[in-house]
Structure 1
Amino acid sequence: MHFLKHKFTFFNGFHSANLTIPLDYKLCYIYGMKRWLPIFMISVFSMLFLNCADKKSDYIDPRGPEFAGSESCIQCHKSASENAMHSAHFKATAPATAESILGNFNSPHNVFDYGNNSKMVMEKRGDSLYQVFYKGGKEIKAYPFDIVFGNRNAQTAVYWKHKNTYELPISYYKAENTWGTSPGFSPTQPYFDRMTIKDCYACHSSNASANKVNSGKNNFLAMEVEDNIAPESLVYGIDCERCHRAGEKTRRLPTRKSERQNRSFYDGLQIAQQQTAA
């Protein structure tokens, strides 16, 4: 048997004593593993849990605490989530960025010519992208791309103004790979006053809530006038929770087959008891 000598120091008040004893290193190893491995595993899982909890707490869904966001679905539905995030539904609306806008901003492919010495130029200015109207070589108006609608065949965009959104006069068409007039807009003169109302977001987003404003009239209905959109309420695209249940409710569902079977059994038993009592 192999022995190691290990020196222990014991303290008793202000006095100390040294003791050297022989130890079997194999027994020490086994004893240490049995003693410290559970503590180590608990520590690791605790760190992972706290990390997940911190990430979850960072996201606050405007639809309420029952919603966890589409990224929370990846843990159990990775393949479905990845497919969904590349779908036209998921990209029905998105914040307008250099990555999300389909059209070309490089000259000469960023110009729509209205004729009569007037044109719309899609320009990048700093970190923002704009539709800029020129007439006679002089800049007349410039409005930013704030939100884009669509991704598969065509894409239009809107800008924010006084907590409402307004469609930009030029859209991008994928089949022709070019910029053209937005549906219903004039091919000879732009205008920037077509409001994109809240109902448009009912089909193109997962949430859009209206601000409540007081019209000043003396009736209770006047206090609930929905004439604009709260930007912080927008959930872009058609996400998982728009069509399926809220993520937090799904988390609480039993995951094992046996648990689901037991849940179904007891739910059925409870219904039968209620029917019998009635």
Structure 2
Amino acid sequence: MADSFGSRIWVIVLVTVALAATVAYMAYESEDQSELVKNLSRKLDSPSSAFPLDDHEIDIKRLTPTVVAQKRVISGSWVLQKDDQPRPRVVLPFSSLEDGPSTTDTLADDSHKQSNAEGFLGADACAACHETRHRGFLSTAHHQTSSAVTPDRILGSLDPPRNELETGDPDISLTMQATDGSVVQKVRLSDWSVNIPMDVITGSGKVAQTFLYWDNDRLFQAYASYFHGADQWLTSPGFEELDLQFNRVIRTECLECHVTYIQQTASPNHYQPSSAIWGVSCERCHGPGKSHVEFHTQNPDSNTAQHIVHPEKLSRERQLDLCGQCHSGSFDFKKPAFSFRPGDDISEFHHTLKPDFDDSGIHTSNQLARLQMSECFQKSEMTCTDCHDPHVAQRGDEIFFRQACLNCHDVEHCGMRPQLPSNIADQCVQCHMPSSEIDDLVGMKQQGLTLSMADHFIRIDHQHAKRIMERETGSTK
């Protein structure tokens, strides 16, 4: 007991000394730093390189009378807090507060008329010869799943008061706004604020739009996302409400399913911005287009497509692998990102983490594995394109999907059709591909909102059909 009591006394003494030193240190650093907040904002006209934090630099800075910034609390980042509160806090991954997030060489430029090293050109390179296909493709979720930010592409409001993300603490807020030709998330912590750029949109907008930003060649995720169903700016999935982290790195595992190609220069989130082909374009299913375009430009009379892949000429397994790149749930890489080419065996490139995963998450719905459980799949040679045309937008087109079913089935095959309400009798998907709630959208759940996605396990589920009838008719029989 005596030893324990003595140890406690020493701990109290040491903590008291440390606190006193910290207070004295901060008092020393509290001289006027009015330029600090200004310099923390994005420098659009003077790019600078990022360097690791210097352990010999001071690690506490007073930004305002109430806000301080510290290094080494989180490796590689500054942590900003009010003097006397552990939360809320803002985490910034910049090498120094004076530098802040720095501009890159291709902000707001998605033309990409020059090819990258792998020969990817982007969908616009296909337009001259495939105008109808290209025009239809531009409205698809694949094409819209990522793009460079321009104000007109953002679905959420940039005007007050609907451009605000409210939090549970009056000392912290985010405002999405256009400023000086760019779009930013203005972060306020008490009497301090900074603009975080919104450089890249990810997500087609069916569920949400999430935003990425560049710090030189490093790519990070911003804190606020726009959710379509709620028509609100909410916390991005996986973030905590009072912990505004801007240091979530964007890895190739994220990008492989949101962009056609981007060149990684160093792990985990260093890229060549000018190499990016935004959206999941024609080339993810047909292969890089550079050689194809060059050949047919030089040989305009040739009617035989060269240096390109026609997916319908691939085996069933290899056709499914094209969709399986992104519709087989979460995975680890066996080979470098963006190295898969149409005709390859996806199992040589990806290791699927949960092949039997049947819960519905925004990134883990595992459509291909669920489809392969279906009797429709097992007793036919069907592929994904029997029900989906990747060249046109089909979301919500019940007539199209009903016809896809009737290509193999007769109306009379539905034994429950005479009992079904007329408004759902022709909506095959509602009964045979029951929707399940997405369970990983924290921001929506905080608002009491839900979102569901169709389960691709096609089946006869009498209990589900009964629930639909009860919902539509109000009957509980």
- Partners of 1:176 and 1:226 in 2: CA distance: 33
- Partners of 1:227 and 1:96 in 2: CA distance: 19
SS in 1 for 2:243: coil
Change (3 A) 1:255 1:189: same
- In 2, are the aligned partners of 1:123 and 1:129 still within 8 Å (CA)? yes
- Partners of 1:227 and 1:81 in 2: CA distance: 31
Change (3 A) 1:67 1:229: closer
Give matches, 1:124-163, under 5 Å. 124-136=178-190, 138-151=191-204, 152-163=206-217
- Partners of 1:124 and 1:99 in 2: CA distance: 10
Map of 2:230 onto structure 1: 176
Q: Deviations over 1:103-123 (max 9, x none)?
A: 101100011111221211112
Residue in structure 2 matching 1:206, options 260, 266, 277: 260
SS in 1 for 2:167: strand
- Partners of 2:250 and 2:198 in 1: CA distance: 14
1:191 paired with 2:233, answer no
Give matches, 1:77-116, under 5 Å. 77-116=130-169
- In 2, are the aligned partners of 1:210 and 1:230 still within 8 Å (CA)? yes
Distance apart, 1:68 and its partner CA: 4.4
SS in 2 for 1:206: strand
What TM-score results when the alignment is normalised by the length of structure 1?
0.61
1:239 paired with 2:281, answer yes
Map of 2:331 onto structure 1: none
Change (3 A) 1:190 1:226: closer
Query: What amino acid maps onto 1:242 in structure 2?
Result: R
Change (3 A) 1:165 1:105: same
Query: What amino acid maps onto 1:110 in structure 2?
Result: N
What TM-score results when the alignment is normalised by the length of structure 2?
0.37
- Partners of 2:216 and 2:224 in 1: CA distance: 21
- Partners of 1:185 and 1:71 in 2: CA distance: 35
Change (3 A) 1:246 1:211: closer
- In 1, are the aligned partners of 2:116 and 2:275 still within 8 Å (CA)? yes
1:119 paired with 2:173, answer yes
- Partners of 2:269 and 2:198 in 1: CA distance: 22
Distance apart, 1:74 and its partner CA: 2.0
SS in 2 for 1:234: strand
Query: What amino acid maps onto 2:154 in structure 1?
Result: I
Distance apart, 1:172 and its partner CA: 0.2
- In 1, are the aligned partners of 2:250 and 2:268 still within 8 Å (CA)? no
Change (3 A) 1:67 1:124: closer
Query: What amino acid maps onto 1:96 in structure 2?
Result: V
- Partners of 1:60 and 1:135 in 2: CA distance: 42
SS in 2 for 1:123: strand
- In 2, are the aligned partners of 1:198 and 1:228 still within 8 Å (CA)? no
Change (3 A) 1:123 1:139: farther
Q: Deviations over 1:7-28 (max 9, x none)?
A: xxxxxxxxxxxxxxxxxxxxxx
Gaps of 5+ in 2: 1-111, 307-477
Map of 1:230 onto structure 2: 272
User: Greater helix share, 1 or 2?
Assistant: 1
Q: CA RMSD in A?
A: 2.5
- Partners of 1:93 and 1:239 in 2: CA distance: 10
Query: What amino acid maps onto 1:236 in structure 2?
Result: W
Distance apart, 1:233 and its partner CA: 1.4
Map of 1:34 onto structure 2: none
- Partners of 2:151 and 2:135 in 1: CA distance: 22
- Partners of 1:256 and 1:125 in 2: CA distance: 49
- In 2, are the aligned partners of 1:164 and 1:228 still within 8 Å (CA)? yes
Change (3 A) 1:245 1:106: same
Equivalent residues, number: 188
Distance apart, 1:162 and its partner CA: 3.9
Query: What amino acid maps onto 1:83 in structure 2?
Result: G
- Partners of 2:290 and 2:169 in 1: CA distance: 57
Gaps of 5+ in 1: 1-57, 213-224, 261-278
- In 2, are the aligned partners of 1:114 and 1:189 still within 8 Å (CA)? no
Map of 2:424 onto structure 1: none
- Partners of 2:145 and 2:195 in 1: CA distance: 25
- Partners of 2:117 and 2:281 in 1: CA distance: 12
- In 1, are the aligned partners of 2:122 and 2:277 still within 8 Å (CA)? no
SS in 2 for 1:62: coil
Change (3 A) 1:227 1:142: closer
User: Greater strand share, 1 or 2?
Assistant: 1
- In 1, are the aligned partners of 2:146 and 2:259 still within 8 Å (CA)? yes
- Partners of 2:173 and 2:237 in 1: CA distance: 18
- Partners of 1:198 and 1:106 in 2: CA distance: 33
SS in 2 for 1:115: coil
Query: What amino acid maps onto 2:183 in structure 1?
Result: L
Distance apart, 1:93 and its partner CA: 1.0
